[in-house]
Amino acid sequence: MGGVVVLGGAGAFAIAQAGEQEPTLAHSTAHYTAPTGDHDGSLAFTTEVTASSGVRSLKVLAWPAANSRLGKKPPTAKELAAVESATCEAATADTARCTYTTPVSTADAAASPHGTWHIAVLATARNGTTTLDTRAADFEIG
């Protein structure tokens, strides 16, 4: 009888743990458009975030692969917690499609290092679990 209680307890623990899995990302893409003439360019990032408890937020940061402090050390979850959020819309009960778009002025583009850039994201589920992906997508500034 004691074995049944222990097995039942372990099964309940496994079920509870399965419900608290970290958010997952899928279909992440980044698209950079350089400014031209008097028109701003843009950076757009989209991804699908799935979390069993639902999606609370997605923080987004673009960072250069070289020639910066971040190029030597990717951003941390603590650093990403303080950056801008994407807009997320529910696609299903546990999946949201998140989009982040920002204008890029001629001055911004001129001051930015050329080459490969990465998109780092911090996905947070409603239950508080998080996923940090420092290279969710890449794009080129050239």
12-56: pLDDT as tens digits: 333 444 456 899 999 999 999 999 988 999 999 999 999 999 999
**Predicted pLDDT at 25:** 98
Distance, CA of 71 to CA of 15 (rounded, Å): 40
Per-residue model confidence as pLDDT tens digits over 47-97: 999 999 999 999 999 999 876 665 678 899 999 999 999 999 999 999 999
Q: Which ranges in the chain belong to alpha helices (H)?
A: 2-18, 69-72, 77-80, 106-111
Furthest C-alpha separation in the chain: 78
What is the structure's pLDDT at 19? 53
pTM: 0.82
Give the Cα separation of 93 and 55 in Å (integer): 9
Select from 26, 33, 24 the least CA-distant residue to 129.
24
Buried b (16+ CB within 10 A) or exposed e, 11-47: eeeeeeeeeeeebbbeebebebeebeeeeebebebbb
Instruction: Dump pLDDT digits (tens) for 85-141.
Output: 999 999 999 999 999 999 999 999 999 999 999 999 999 999 999 999 999 999 999
